Amino acid sequence: MKLSLWPALPLAISSCLGQLAYAASDNGFVEDSSLTLTNRNFYFYRNNLNNPGGQNYRDEWAHGISLDYRSGYTQGIVGFGIDAYAQLGIKLDSGKGRTGTGLLPVGADGRAEDDYSEAGGALKARISQTELKYGNLTPLNPVFGTGNARLFTQQANGFQLTSRELKGLLLDAGHFTSGNDSASTNSDGALKALYAGVETRSVDYLGGSYALNDQLSVSLYGSQFTDIWRQYYANANYTYPVSENQSLNLDFNIYRTNDTGQSLAGKIDNTTWSMAAAYKVGAHRLTLAYQRVDGDEPFDYLGFDQQPGASIFLANSIQIVDFNAPNERSWQLRYDLDMAPFGVPGLSFMSRYVNGNHIDDSHYDGGVNGAYGRYGSDGKRWERDIEARYVVQSGTAKDLSVRVRQATLRSTRQVAQADTTDNDEIRVIIEYPLSIF
């Protein structure tokens, strides 16, 4: 498969160069600047049920403070600016034998650090609606995405070019060589294949999305993890308005992954896809989803030092597991309730159940560099998630959010040993973003 978006990139750049009469910024470097202070309080508890001889449970509480600055652009044909951040993580409760939640870095003695901090930034330039950034970045797309599932957002180091010259069209390209997870201050940490645990020297990607109209959008991406894999992704999303307060949404995702170069993770020949249908009636939304892995190795994606990234745009990638084991087939039933029509705006509830089966890597031939764990044959697992969330709608505490998440995972024994141990999990997240200017 060839990356068909490469020819579109110079066209977009040429288009923006043809609009040199337009200033690169609406106002200016200072006038368009913003500074946001975010406090995030995170409690994480996980009880591992089938981990003999290992850590039985994880139980930590931490608070994160982050300051995020975004400048505007200088006036002129080419506008320049900077982005910067600083963050401080503070241990509120932990202990030896209870670490490993990803909220706090762990020292050589097995204990969580009392605090940790980091600062960084990026330079940026813009012509018309095309931006080039270099430095500590947080890209989020189906083949290379940083996540924020803990105290802070992961950072990746490199270049990113985005262009929105044509209405409804986003072009996105990047080159990254290192990064760090949200509980690390090591900015030059490794980028890796998460499940294989193998590091790559660099990652390149190219892709984009296009909204054909208000109901239908499509996207296409491709990436290369040097000496590990080439991965391609496609998506189609369609919303059909049944009536004034009813709609049907269909979402299809597919990945194709093949090993490349030195094949450091071994042989990879994997096609993974998912299909979801969500029907919304007023305050209620019911979702059905099906996901399938066609390959004798798990569907793999970006990992940082100790944490997964967020570049897995599949319907059944949920709170604890991704349902991405070799040859796994999984289905999901989900229900969402918005309490605004019942007089409580900002309050919402979600529950979902995902069941996976047919897990089988008995025919796995990883070659010389085979790096994946063994799942056995005829493996099964299921996960149930429940969530309640409230966002303050007005007043001094506007945008303060409180989220409580509970999850339960159960698997056949060999699947649990190869992937994630059976567990019961609780997360409580309180977040308050404050716009200073």
Could you tell me which of 298, 303, 357 has the C-alpha nearest to residue 324?
Answer: 298
Grouping H, G, I as helix, E, B as strand and the rest as coil, residue 162 is strand
pLDDT of 54 reads 76
Residue 167 tokens read as: 């209405």
What is the spatial distance between Cα 245 and Cα 237, in angstroms, rounded to a whole number? 19
What is the spatial distance between Cα 408 and Cα 423, in angstroms, rounded to a whole number? 6
- For domain 8-435, give its CATH number from 2.40.160.10, 3.30.1740.10, 3.40.50.300, 3.10.25.10: 2.40.160.10
The pLDDT tens digits for 265-284 are 999 999 999 999 999 999 99
The pLDDT tens digits for 193-243 are 999 999 999 999 999 999 999 999 999 999 999 999 999 999 999 999 999
Residue 129 tokens read as: 């609606």
Residue 171 tokens read as: 């072009």
- Extended beta strands in 282-413, E state: 284-294, 302-303, 329-338, 347-359, 379-391, 401-411
Q: Which active-site residues does the annotation give?
A: 175, 227, 311
What is the spatial distance between Cα 346 and Cα 338, in angstroms, rounded to a whole number? 8
pLDDT of 15 reads 44
Neighbour count for residue 220 (Cβ, 10 Å):
17
For 422: left if phi > 0, alpha if psi spans -120 to 50, otherwise beta; the answer is beta
The edge-to-edge listing of strands for the beta sheet with 302-303 is 198-200, 191-193, 302-303
Q: Where are the alpha helices (DSSP H) in 322-430?
A: 413-418
**Intervals of the chain under pLDDT 50:** 1-25
What is the spatial distance between Cα 386 and Cα 409, in angstroms, rounded to a whole number? 12
